[in-house]
Structure 1
């Protein structure tokens, strides 16, 4: 049994038997690794600048997605209009000539 440094009471080793020096070293290494992970997690939570940058990147990505969803239909509509104009050039030229003739006739 070992004495707890915090409360002065005795308690048995994990596993019930006295640990060998090698087992103690393994436990110490495992504890160090766990402590290192805990410190890293706490440091990440305390790094306000990094968390703010992550949030800004997330918001920027969301804004880009919203913009794409809003602009795509407009671009498709514009492309369709341009296609209709190309397909009906003769009609467009004829209507332009009529409009010009009406404009000239009204000016006189």
Structure 2
């Protein structure tokens, strides 16, 4: 019908979403977004003084003193950063302050 609201505003609808009226007991559920292939986890650097919520593998920068910072691939186990030995097992505890750390996504 000419002169409708869509024509007056220049809007064009590409799809129609039906939303249930309030009080109807129905819910409007939106599907979770699909993850892009290869994008499983988004990582970011966390500052000193924060720690992972659970045991995991991390990359951390440690302050050796005199402005020297080293980056180490390690584990966070039982509230402490530990070295990762060549076999992939947990090694000795690291007794240095972590300047920042990033949790690594699990390898599948």
Indicate the TM-score class for this superposition, using the shorter chain for normalisation.
under 0.3
Task: Give the helix-richer structure, 1 or 2.
Answer: 1
User: TM-score, normalization: structure 2?
Assistant: 0.19
Task: Give the strand-richer structure, 1 or 2.
Answer: 2
Q: Which has the larger radius of gyration?
A: 1
